[in-house]
Structure 1
Amino acid sequence: MSSTIAALSWPLARLGEGIEQLARGANLLATGPRNPLTATSPPQHRAELGTWIEWAGERLGLEAEPIESFVPQVAEWLRDIGPAILQIDIAGEARCLFLLRSRFGGLQVLGPDLQWSTCSVAGLRNALCADFEAPLQAEIEGLLALADVPERRRKAVKALLLDQRLATQKIENCWLLRQPATANLRRQLAESGLPRRALGLLVALAVVYALEIAGWRLIGAAALNGRLDFGWLSAWGLAVFSLIPLHWISGWLDAGFALDVGILLKKRMLAGALRLDLEAVKQQGSGQLLGRVMESQALESLSLNGGFSTLIGLVEWLFAAWILSAGVAGFGHLLMLAGWTVLALWLTGRYLRRLKHTTFQRMTMTEQLVERMVGHRTCLAQESPERRDADDDSLLNDYLLSASETDAALIPLIGSLARGWLVLALLGLSPAFVSGDTASIGLAISLGGILLAGRAFSNVATGLAVLARAFIAWQQVAVLFHAAYRAPPSQPFLSAADLRGEVGIAGSGKLVDASDLSYRYRSGGEPVLRGVDLTIRRGERCLLEGPSGGGKSTLAALLVGLRQPESGLLLLNGLDRYTLGDNWHKLAGEAPQFHENHILTGTLAFNLLMGRHWPADKPDLLEAEELCVALGLEPLLQRMPSGIHQRVGETGWQLSHGERSRIFLARALLRNTALTVLDESFAALDPETMEQCLSCALARADTLLVIAHP
């Protein structure tokens, strides 16, 4: 490393301070951090540094996303990243660089003296790639000499050969710092600059309409006063041609704004979907969830299109009101404009009420359609054709009737509002026109205002109709949007040693310690579990038996952190859920019941190793294959053309009931958690296979809890 880079690097002991200062420099922190990092020491082990940085980002209400680059693309990668944290090695010591942004060929780097300095992108790139390139230098120099490459071309050829040889080598240990999708919406909007861009779009639209009005005024005054000469035509033509770049600019601003708002909405709703309450999700069928997904897509396109149409219409409405006030029937036209606006709002409300009912009917049809598709074989075997068709016909008839009423409410809003205004406004203009006492310029101004108001009502009607649909869609997906928000966690960082209990946290040997646990599925309902006391020590093998509906699976969900008890104390390895946070799932894993477990579309390897990092490395793949053999799945691997890399699931290789059960068991065992819960994992196996699988589970699991019927 060069002396400049070494001087700008930070020791790991000051990592928390550097992250806070980098976040402030990037304007990611509006105020001081709620949970400062300066009092928290980074981990001593390099392997845990990435986990600590991600935890530190969450503690500040930010997201630290690990990123990487292949060696040939490092220079472009450095120009695009920022704010970012880059770990480097200097004389065998791990240190960090805090990069803000690339500017004029240099990187802004925060130094340990809290001053911003500029570092060469090429210099940092060479320093990062030196360890990869050094072993190849002599070989490539010899090859160039042997090929007698001219001296003037050697540098370029050498760079190309190095890129080819290092095409698969990665530069890692870098984390991008940014606002997460779960952050406060105002902060996300401010960071993306959307309010400023919306203001720019409004200014562009205002200039467009001002030029249009100026053009009308020029050509109208020239024509009505008999002065239609070359000068007036040139002025009008200049105003018209000036509209072309302005329309292009406003269209470009519109498209960019819509794209970025759509990205923000999608990220926000995806984060919300991942944070929905487990019970809330389970109480909805797959059809309801599919309907929400469809409505979320509609919300993005409809709200943006309808919002801009309405916005343009409102701008035109304001200009039209101003022009009409200067016309021959100023006050009368303003009253008509206000009354017609009230009528437009009433028509929109009527359409909204009918659309709400139609949307409910459509989502009901979607829910039942998906349910019947999933249970198609059951319906064919158990339900009579007459009843099956009668239910479908009834739903379809109700939907068609509701859709017809909605269309009937939409026609006056879209098709008649603008035309009706033209007729009404012209009638209001007729007394002044018939009297003949009004100046031609006043009539021209009124006609221009009437036409502009007609266009405004057309845009407003279209926009309001679309916004009504977007509002209905919002009612379906608002729960996803609001579920995305999560306050920054305040629990301490736990190292791998803390989780394993190597520092005295679980010195008693207790892995699970539950006292007086109670749980009920809904408020006011009967408790499923009441007063449960349970202790499981490390290394124990436990069998939990009981009748169906006795709460066995509910207790398993509490132990692995899928649900939280209503009352009582539950400790895992001596720590509660608040302290462990998401680390709870690193210590406790489960193979749920068969109907709650799934084979996902993908390779068998992915379905086995989805609890670990993916893509998997070779040792993980070998371990998964060995476990499959131990569970009696070797014949399955031999039958599949691609072995463990064969695609399985709905669109791939079809698996039997027993094969699926063993894959679910292997998936749970491969997680290597301290506590493994198997919920009726052996129910679909014959006695010989069950004994083989049970022996494998007893040998591999650290601590095992098996749930079964008596």
Structure 2
Amino acid sequence: MSELASKLLWPLSRLGEGFELLLATTSLSQRLVRLPNPDARLPIVPEEMFRAWLVRTADQLQLETLEVETTYRELEDFLRRSPPALLRVAHPDGLAFVLLARTSRGKAVVIDVLGIRRTLPLRGLAGLLTAKLEERHKPVVDRMMESVTGSERRRARVRRVLMTERLGVVRVVRAILLRDTVRSAWWGLVHRSPVPLRLASFLTAHAAEYALLLLSWFTIGRALLEDRLTAGAVVTWGLLLLTTVPVRMLVTDLGGRLMLEAGLLFKRRILEGGLRLLTDEIRTQGAGQMLGRVMEANLIETLAQSGGVLALTTVIELAGLLFIIARGAAPLTQFLALVLTLALAALLGKRLYVALGSLSDTRLELTHETVEQMVGHRTRLIEERPDRWHTREDDLLDRYLASMKTADCRAARLLMLIPRGWLIVAIVALTPFILDANGSFDTTAISVGAAFLGMRVFAQGTSSAVHLVLAAVAWKRIGPIFRAATRDAQAPTCELWQEDLPMDRPRVKSTSAVVLQAHDLVFRYRELGRPLLNGASLTVRDGDRILLEGPSGGGKSTFLSLLMGFRDPQSGLLLLEGWDRHAIGLERWRQKVVAAPQFHENRIFAESLAFNLLLGRAWPPSPDDLRAARNICAELGLGPLLKRMPSGMDQLVGEIGWQLSHGEQSRIFIARALLQSARMMVLDESFGALDPETMRRALRCVLDRAPALIVIAHP
């Protein structure tokens, strides 16, 4: 290892110190805290110690971490896009890290072990990260290079090509990307993002373009009014107009960058909010309604961005219009006309909002109905009378067309009436000044120009208003998802004690320790309805094996949802290791209590088998994670399935991949829950699709591995 490489590698034992220095060079966290180094005295392997420390640190600083891998071929481009990041490097003494602060113009800024910022070429940094790998392939490449002639530059380029061909798809670097969490306050998140700088640049550029446009017409207008239309005036006017062309290109580019940054931030927030919606908030919504929400999210992103940009530019141009009106022949009259036009636009905008709201409701209802009918098409063909197949769709289409007609008419009034109405009112207000033979021709011409300029401003303003009204209508459904992202944002933080060790490690605990305690739980679905659960109590200790039986509809799955934190009881006490859910946080609660829900509430995703098994663990998986998944699959009797799959654990499964039987899916659900290594495990009718022999084998695996177990079944 070179001397430079040794200075860049931070050992795990000093990672807290290095993390502080990395944050000091970025705008990620505004919380200045002292970070502890990972404690090497804990009885766990470095990999697990690092992951546990990273989770605690990210929670404390309100950061998001994403672990990704890159290949040899993509390494330079990856380094360009990844900072700030921790780059994991294999080291003889254990885990080591390169702290990548930022990149710019082919240069990378890293922090060495002395706390000094070093600037390296991206290619040089990539070479340091892959030096050990390249060393093993160097003899083969050297033999191939013997026949290459030419300059040293050409030989170096050929060497890079040969090395890339040999190592192109090899995964060389695993990195932890650091990002601001979207669960923090929205405006603080926006403030720390590139959006304010992009916005300021865009507004400045647009103001410059508008000033150049006004200056060009002022120049030619003044020359005409003063009867001094010379070649120089025409040339000046033309040059000013030509100057607006590159400025306009800059405005377009800056506007695109602004919308890209804002859209990325908005999408991350919506995704986080969608993942934090409570079960009861989406339980009664079908696939069509969920699809409608996705459509609304895309709609609000597009319309809010385009309408917001147009609105900002309209404000700038409106300020310029007021400036010109003030220098015209009738400033007060035109100002009153401007106020009247704005008031009329607000009234028409409100009417449009009501019409678009009705249209949106009908469209989403039609989307839901269409998706539901597509899913249940075979059932309709068999069960429903043919003359009634399209009655519901026809009724919805008639309502949709009527709502669309109303919305289109109101939008047309806003778009057509306001700009032209302003022009008519402004010109009519100027009629006495135009007919006045003693009036100033210059100021009257300025006022006439203001009338036509105002028509342009209102045309752009009404277009932005339509976009913003559409976005406001969509916000009624997207707003709850957006706000849900902040739930449990203030998760409790604590030091890394024995309680935070991975669950598949031995614990120093009494076998009689209480894991979960429920006392007098009461739950009803409607506020004044009959309680489904009334005075339910249960105590679960380490090592307990509990069978919960009852008839269908008796409240077994509802009781499970309370234990899992999916629902809140109306009264009673529910504690996990002595803490209630609000004190411990929903995320941590679900890390310690896991479940395999009923078959219709569980899902195999269209991804690899490894992805489906390891949903509750870090991704990409470590070799230990894959080994644990294979072992549990073998114990559950899924070994023959793995042998049949051509790609093994990497085989694509789900709707578009390898088709799994109900019994195989049930065992994958069980394995998924076991691999989360929680304190308590709940199986809700998980053995119903298994034959007796397979059920005994699966039950033995669960009994051997689950620290505490509740099995829900029919009598």
TM bracket (short chain): 0.7 to 0.9
| Residue pairs, 1:542-691, within 5 angstroms | 542-563=546-567, 567-571=572-576, 578-579=583-584, 582=587, 584-602=589-607, 607=612, 610=615, 619=627, 626=634, 630=637, 649-651=654-656, 660-661=665-666, 664-665=669-670, 667-668=672-673, 675-684=680-689, 689-691=691-693
Q: C-alpha distance in 2, partners of 1:285/1:521?
A: 22
Structure 1 residue 511: Cα displacement: 6.9
Say which SS state the counterpart of residue 600 (structure 1) adopts.
coil
The residue number in structure 2 matching 1:324 is 325
User: Aligned in 2, Cα 1:389/1:194: closer, same or farther, shift over 3 Å?
Assistant: same
The residue number in structure 1 matching 2:137 is 136
Equivalent pairs counted in the alignment come to 700
| Residue pairs, 1:66-81, within 5 angstroms | 66-81=67-82
Question: What amino acid is aligned across from residue 177 of structure 2 in structure 1?
Answer: L
Does the alignment pair 1:516 with 2:519?
yes
Structure 1 residue 596: Cα displacement: 1.2
Say which SS state the counterpart of residue 501 (structure 2) adopts.
helix
Residue 487 of structure 1, aligned match among 471, 481, 490: 490
Say which SS state the counterpart of residue 710 (structure 2) adopts.
strand
Larger CA deviation: 70-79 vs 416-425: 70-79
Larger CA deviation: 118-127 vs 259-268: 118-127
Does the alignment pair 1:23 with 2:7?
no
The residue number in structure 2 matching 1:273 is 274
Say which SS state the counterpart of residue 64 (structure 1) adopts.
strand
Q: C-alpha distance in 2, partners of 1:108/1:653?
A: 45
Q: C-alpha distance in 1, partners of 2:520/2:172?
A: 48
Structure 1 residue 520: Cα displacement: 2.2
Q: C-alpha distance in 1, partners of 2:111/2:35?
A: 17
| Residue pairs, 1:160-559, within 5 angstroms | 160-485=161-486, 486-487=489-490, 489-493=492-496, 498-500=501-503, 506-510=509-513, 512-516=515-519, 518-520=521-523, 524=527, 526-538=530-542, 541-559=545-563
Superposed CA deviations along residues 268-297 of structure 1, whole A, max 9, x for unmatched, are 101111111122121333322222111111
Structure 1 residue 466: Cα displacement: 1.3
Superposed CA deviations along residues 333-379 of structure 1, whole A, max 9, x for unmatched, are 22112111111111111111222222222222223333333333344
Question: What amino acid is aligned across from residue 484 of structure 1 in structure 2?
Answer: A
User: Aligned in 2, Cα 1:489/1:307: closer, same or farther, shift over 3 Å?
Assistant: same
Output the aligned Cα RMSD.
3.7
**Amino-acid identity (%):** 34
Superposed CA deviations along residues 89-133 of structure 1, whole A, max 9, x for unmatched, are 666254444332246766434355544344665665444333323
Structure 1 residue 421: Cα displacement: 1.9
User: Aligned in 2, Cα 1:242/1:585: closer, same or farther, shift over 3 Å?
Assistant: same
Unaligned runs of 5+ in 2: none
Say which SS state the counterpart of residue 401 (structure 2) adopts.
helix
Superposed CA deviations along residues 51-98 of structure 1, whole A, max 9, x for unmatched, are 422431221111232233334554554455432233446662544443
Question: What amino acid is aligned across from residue 357 of structure 1 in structure 2?
Answer: S
Question: What amino acid is aligned across from residue 18 of structure 1 in structure 2?
Answer: G
Say whether the 8 Å CA contact 2:195–2:258 is kept in structure 1: yes
Say whether the 8 Å CA contact 2:550–2:714 is kept in structure 1: yes
Say which SS state the counterpart of residue 259 (structure 1) adopts.
helix
Question: What amino acid is aligned across from residue 545 of structure 1 in structure 2?
Answer: E
Q: C-alpha distance in 2, partners of 1:294/1:613?
A: 30
Structure 1 residue 457: Cα displacement: 1.1
Larger CA deviation: 403-412 vs 345-354: 403-412
Say whether the 8 Å CA contact 2:198–2:257 is kept in structure 1: no
Say whether the 8 Å CA contact 1:518–1:527 is kept in structure 2: no
Say which SS state the counterpart of residue 444 (structure 2) adopts.
helix
Larger CA deviation: 508-517 vs 51-60: 508-517
Say whether the 8 Å CA contact 1:678–1:706 is kept in structure 2: yes
Say whether the 8 Å CA contact 2:492–2:585 is kept in structure 1: no
Q: C-alpha distance in 2, partners of 1:693/1:327?
A: 89
Q: C-alpha distance in 2, partners of 1:418/1:438?
A: 27
User: Aligned in 2, Cα 1:402/1:71: closer, same or farther, shift over 3 Å?
Assistant: closer
Unaligned runs of 5+ in 1: none
Say whether the 8 Å CA contact 1:28–1:179 is kept in structure 2: yes
Q: C-alpha distance in 2, partners of 1:310/1:220?
A: 28
Please give the TM-score of this superposition, normalised by the length of structure 1.
0.87
Say whether the 8 Å CA contact 1:286–1:370 is kept in structure 2: yes
User: Aligned in 2, Cα 1:378/1:690: closer, same or farther, shift over 3 Å?
Assistant: farther
Larger CA deviation: 112-121 vs 176-185: 112-121
Structure 1 residue 262: Cα displacement: 0.9
Say whether the 8 Å CA contact 1:316–1:455 is kept in structure 2: no
Q: C-alpha distance in 1, partners of 2:419/2:270?
A: 37
